[in-house]
């Protein structure tokens, strides 16, 4: 059969695909453009890249397919909104059902045995009660319902906890990793049963179901026998020779622990979450007799027999480098051998992928959209040129950004001009280059621009930046300062009517910017609703709005936002020990932001008589992850590592200070030590990181400073150091010098030793 597998690059998919090939099936996989398919037999499968948001992509990949095995899903709900989970666990299946030809023979869907009410007596059968105990379960039951209500022949699997070699995130893998510490926390007595299934048995069940006449059944899939949590933890501690101790936590204390962790904004899942408590404290076994009867399911692998292999594989498993660094590591190492450190590498392919992911996600739901890339984030002409070739427009905030844009091939008509203070020189320069729209912060700025436009006999497009009042100091210190920009929402209608009377200004737009590193996409939903409501009011007053610009703020997923807790830890020593166990808020993908923005704008703009163009001003989300600052260890003094690079080359606001580091030559080493990374300048504050966990370091080691593409070169200063050179990596093949290293002469280029004097009389 010709089988389409979704989620093929995941744990289950990577085991399933080779077995499908062994059984003489033709395999097509559907994956995102940034997915790593290197673990799959690429020469024997068809790889199609695309997005479930694209009707064209989904319809195309389903042509000629006999059966679909749908594995895409997420079980981790920490830090995710219900919309995030629905978009992963339900929406792709909806799209498959919608565009699957009626000739399809079978859809095989992987649900979960966790949908059951686990308080009912075991063994639990397919006819027993389900329970909506979290968003994951709700999404899985929604997906099951949608599939059952369709006319497509289907089989639904409800596996228990799946484990095996190659799993780095599952329940058993997390237990193994936790057992390498000092304590393993066990809810209650630990005498409750869990009923896991080995990956090989699950794969065998899926393959057995292929080609059989579907009875549109739901089947439990579990291992040959259950095991108590106590026995499983004891075996893990014994086989891994761990010194860990079991720590039984009374169940009545668990809600308190969960509530404590809820109040700390974080992206890392904490030790105690409602999901983990529920899964590890409930006792359950599953009745698999239906699967035995329908597909001859006969599980063979007992967890006691396979646990040693799973432990060895889990402890040897390194975090996939692609999750940390998109740029091929070998290229960076070769560059460091030939180029004197420090130097920047900007990976053009990463930039291209980031832009395309965002643009496609937005326009899949609202095609009339423009991306104004925020030039201040990184205005190197080579970077701007790459973005222009992708179809981007440009947001500028000063005259030299306009000049950089024109050097990269942008025309003024492709630019918007933002900023609270626009100098006369910058405005005249922009007017001479026909900049498309000016987003203003005050009526005084409108009057000044009107006068300059009149002197040139021009009429220019304008809008106002609207302050939507999204303050929130406790969410991050940056939000407390953003209110200095723009005009208040309640003042906007009157100000627009007043500005309409200025003869050389044409009101065209509405603009806002709600912050930086916005980790909650729902804030964009709120801001879009407010802006479109304002546009609707202006439209009724005879001022149609052509473009609504929601600004930037889409985050880089790897640059962590500093919180109040972080700031407290920097001055309170006891907090440093606590903060390691606090979670970090999960950052949704750039596609998630694009989909939410596009969908919300499409829905809300229905009230407008004249639909407006949707505009965004992303910066950090496009260029941060493309940049790496390659440095070398100069020398080591105790726990202080001195690098030849400086934070003056990657200056960052205290609000976004948590970077990641990579030591490429020692990436496989498990033994870590605590170091502080110091920069090269003669400044006490030149510190990259305090108390960073790194491999044992030596002078000369290469250290990669990640997420260095945003607000690095554009903000860099030469305080006791020279600016590093910048290279653009083209097609993972060659490095192109795009900015030379600073020199003594360039550092003093603007110093003037003449005799010109200005009289103050």
Tell me which of 278-292, 479-493, 522-536 is least confident: 479-493
- Taking the model in full, what pTM does it have? 0.64
Rounded percentage of the chain residues whose pLDDT exceeds 70: 86
Q: Is the dihedral of CA 200, 202, 205, 209 positive or negative?
A: negative
Phi, psi of 599 (to 5 degrees): -65, -45
pLDDT of residue 321: 47
Query: DSSP string spanning 551-606?
Result: ---PPPTTSBPP-HHHHHHHH-HHHHHHHTTS-BB----HHHHHHHHHHHHHHHGG
Confidence of residue 320 (pLDDT cuts 50, 70, 90): very low
Q: What pLDDT is attached to residue 631?
A: 97
Q: What integer is the mean pLDDT of 740-759? A: 80
Model pLDDT, residue 482 = 57
- What pLDDT, on the 0 to 100 scale, is given for residue 581? 45
Asked whether the predicted pLDDT for residue 332 surpasses 90, the reply is no
Least confident of 24-28, 563-567, 636-640: 563-567
Alpha-carbon distances, residue 147 vs 87, 206, 294 (angstroms): 16, 17, 19
- Cβ atoms of residues 275 and 134 within 8 Å: yes
Q: SS3 of 460, please? A: strand
Other C-beta atoms within 10 Å of 740: how many? 11
Provide the β-strand partners of residue 465.
511
- Residue 211: CA atoms inside 13 Å, Cβ hemisphere, count? 9
**Distance between CA atoms of 656 and 650, rounded to whole angstroms?**
12
pLDDT at 275: 64
Least confident residue range of 97-101, 133-137, 396-400, 583-587: 583-587
Residue 249 burial (10 A CB sphere; 0-12, 13-18, 19+): middle
Residue 315 has pLDDT above 80, yes or no: no
Q: Which residue segments constitute the domains of the chain, with CATH numbers given?
A: 1-317 (3.40.50.720), 349-621 (3.20.20.10), 626-746 (2.40.37.10)
SS3 195: coil
Token representation of residue 542: 């005879």
Find the helix or strand (DSSP H, E) in which 487 lies: strand 487-488
Distance, in Å, from the CA atom of 534 to the CA atom of 541, rounded to the nearest integer, reads: 11
CA 523/CA 514 separation, integer angstroms: 8
Can you state the angle between helices 171-178 and 229-239, rounded to 10 degrees? 50
ω into residue 123 within 30 of 0, thus cis? yes
- Name 31's bridge partners: 49
Which residue has tokens 């930086």? 516
How high is the pLDDT of residue 474? 39
Average pLDDT over the chain reads 87
> Using an 8 Å Cβ cutoff, are 629 and 344 in contact?
yes
Given a contact cutoff of 8 angstroms between Cβ atoms, the answer to whether 134 and 274 are in contact is yes
Rounded distance, CA 630 to CA 703, Å? 6
Return the percentage of the chain with pLDDT > 90, whole number. 60
Integer Cα distance of 68 and 96 in angstroms:
9
pLDDT, residue 189, reads 86
If phi over 0 gives left and psi between -120 and 50 gives alpha, with beta otherwise, what is residue 64?
A: left
- 197 phi/psi in degrees, rounded to 5: -130, 135
Of the candidates 62, 81, 228, 69, the residue with the CA atom closest to the CA atom of residue 592: 81
Please say whether the beta carbons of 726 and 392 come within 8 A.
Answer: no
Cα(257)–Cα(277) distance, integer angstroms: 10
Tokens standing for residue 285? 């076994």
C-beta neighbour count of 569 within 10 angstroms = 20
pLDDT digit string (tens) for 87-122? 999 999 999 999 998 889 999 999 999 999 988 889
Cα gap 54→29, rounded to integer Å:
16
Per-residue pLDDT, 681: 93
How much is the pLDDT for 562?
56
Highest mean pLDDT among 166-175, 357-366, 465-474, 482-491: 357-366
Model confidence at 503, pLDDT cuts 50, 70, 90, reads very high
The token duo for 388 is 């222009």
Query: Which region holds residue 58: left if phi is over 0, alpha if psi is between -120 and 50, else beta?
Result: alpha
As a whole number, mean pLDDT of residues 367-382 equals 97
The answer, yes or no, to whether residue 752 has pLDDT greater than 50, is yes
Omega before 421 cis (within 30°)? no
Model confidence at 319, in pLDDT bands (50, 70, 90)? very low
Alpha-carbon distance of 190 to 516, in angstroms, equals: 44
Model confidence at 473: pLDDT above 50: no
Of residues 612, 586, 624, the one with CA closest to residue 712: 624
Identify the residue whose tokens are 């703020």: 553
- CA-based R_g, the chain, Å: 29
Compute the distance between CA of residue 253 and CA of residue 489 in angstroms, rounded to an integer. Answer: 46
pLDDT for 654 beyond 50: no
The residue-averaged pLDDT of 174-182 equals 80
What tokens appear for 761 in the block?
A: 């009389």
Reported as a single tens digit per residue, the pLDDT across 576-620 is 544 444 445 567 889 999 999 999 999 999 999 999 999 999 999
What's the pLDDT score for residue 330?
78
Distance CA 704, CA 330 (A): 13
What pLDDT does residue 276 have?
Answer: 64
Q: Which tops the pLDDT comparison, 34 or 609? A: 609
Among the listed residues 342, 511, 539, the one whose alpha carbon sits nearest the alpha carbon of residue 436: 511
State pLDDT tens for residues 351-362: 999 999 999 999
Separation between Cα atoms, residue 652 and residue 88, nearest integer Å: 33
What's the confidence (pLDDT) of residue 579? 47
Question: Would the pLDDT of 697 be above 80?
Answer: yes
Residue 273 has pLDDT above 80, yes or no: no
Compute the distance between CA of residue 752 and CA of residue 750 in angstroms, rounded to an integer. Answer: 6
**Residue 634 confidence (pLDDT) above 80:** yes
**SS3 at position 351:** helix
According to the model, what pLDDT value does residue 322 have? 46
Tokens, residue 318: 């390194």
């Amino acid at each position: 059969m010709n089988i389409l597998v979704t989620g093929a690059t995941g744990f289950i998919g990577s085991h399933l695909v080779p077995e499908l090939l062994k059984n003489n099936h033709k395999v097509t996989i559907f994956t995102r453009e940034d997915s790593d398919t290197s673990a799959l037999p690429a020469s024997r499968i068809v790889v199609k890249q695309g997005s479930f948001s694209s009707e064209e992509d989904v319809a195309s990949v389903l042509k000629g397919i006999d059966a679909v095995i749908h594995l895409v899903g997420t079980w981790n709900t920490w830090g995710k909104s219900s919309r995030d989970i629905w978009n992963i666990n339900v929406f792709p299946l909806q799209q498959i059902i919608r565009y699957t030809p009626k000739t399809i023979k079978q859809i095989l869907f992987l649900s979960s045995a966790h949908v059951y009410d686990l308080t009912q007596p075991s063994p639990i059968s397919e006819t027993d009660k389900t329970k909506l105990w979290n968003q994951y379960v709700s999404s899985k039951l929604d997906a099951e319902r949608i599939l059952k209500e369709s006319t497509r022949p289907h089989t639904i699997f409800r596996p228990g906890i799946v484990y095996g070699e190659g799993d780095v995130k599952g329940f058993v893998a997390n237990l193994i990793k936790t057992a390498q510490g000092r304590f393993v926390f066990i809810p209650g007595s630990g005498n409750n049963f869990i009923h896991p299934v080995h990956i090989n048995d699950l794969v065998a069940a899926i393959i057995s179901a292929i080609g059989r006449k579907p009875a549109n059944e739901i089947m439990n899939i579990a291992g040959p026998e259950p095991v108590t949590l106590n026995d499983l933890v004891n075996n893990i501690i014994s086989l891994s020779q761990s010194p860990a101790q079991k720590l039984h936590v009374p169940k009545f204390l668990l809600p308190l622990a969960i509530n404590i962790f809820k109040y700390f904004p974080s992206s890392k899942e904490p030790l105690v979450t409602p999901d983990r408590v529920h899964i590890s404290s409930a006792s359950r076994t599953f009745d698999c007799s239906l699967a035995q009867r329908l597909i001859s399911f006969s599980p063979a692998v007992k967890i006691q027999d396979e646990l040693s292999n799973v432990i060895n594989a889990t402890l040897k498993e390194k975090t996939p480098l692609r999750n940390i660094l998109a740029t091929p590591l070998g290229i960076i190492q070769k560059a460091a051998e030939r180029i004197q450190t420090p130097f920047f590498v900007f990976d053009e392919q990463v930039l291209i992928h980031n832009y395309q992911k965002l643009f496609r996600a937005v326009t899949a739901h609202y095609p009339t959209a423009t991306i104004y890339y925020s030039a201040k984030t990184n205005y190197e002409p080579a970077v701007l040129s790459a973005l222009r070739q992708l179809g981007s427009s440009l947001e500028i905030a000063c005259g030299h950004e306009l000049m950089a844009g024109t050097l990269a091939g942008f025309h003024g008509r492709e630019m918007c001009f933002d900023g609270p203070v626009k100098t006369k020189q910058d405005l005249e320069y922009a007017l001479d280059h026909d900049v498309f729209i000016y987003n203003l912060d005050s009526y005084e700025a409108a009057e000044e621009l009107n006068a300059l436009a009149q002197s040139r006999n021009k009429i220019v497009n304008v809008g106002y930046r609207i302050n939507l009042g999204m303050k929130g100091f406790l969410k991050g210190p940056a939000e407390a300062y953003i209110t200095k920009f723009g005009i208040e929402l309640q003042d906007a209608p009157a100000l627009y009517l007043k500005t309409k009377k200025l003869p050389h200004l044409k009101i065209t737009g509405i603009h806002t910017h709600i912050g930086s590193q916005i980790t909650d996409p729902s804030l964009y939903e709120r801001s879009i609703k407010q802006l479109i409501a304002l546009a609707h009011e202006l439209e009724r007053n005879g001022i149609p709005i052509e473009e609504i610009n929601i600004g930037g703020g889409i985050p880089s997923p790897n640059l962590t936002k500093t919180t109040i807790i972080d700031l407290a830890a920097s001055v309170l020593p006891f907090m440093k020990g606590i903060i390691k166990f606090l979670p970090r808020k999960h950052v949704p993908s750039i596609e998630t932001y694009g989909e939410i923005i596009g969908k919300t704008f499409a829905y809300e703009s229905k009230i407008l008589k004249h639909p407006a163009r949707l505009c965004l001003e992303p910066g950090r989300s496009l260029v941060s992850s493309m940049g790496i600052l390659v440095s070398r260890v100069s020398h080591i003094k105790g726990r202080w590592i001195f690098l030849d690079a400086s934070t003056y080359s990657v200056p960052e606001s205290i609000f976004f200070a948590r970077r990641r580091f990579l030591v490429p030559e020692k990436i496989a080493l498990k033994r870590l030590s605590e170091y502080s990374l110091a920069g090269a300048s003669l400044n006490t504050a030149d510190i990259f990181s305090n108390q960073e966990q790194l491999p044992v370091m030596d002078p000369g080691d290469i250290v990669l400073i990640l997420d260095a593409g945003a607000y690095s070169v554009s903000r860099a200063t030469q305080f006791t150091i020279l600016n590093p050179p910048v290279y653009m990596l083209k097609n993972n093949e060659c490095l192109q010098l795009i900015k030379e290293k600073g020199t003594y002469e360039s550092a003093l280029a603007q110093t003037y030793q003449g005799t010109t004097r200005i009289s103050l009389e």
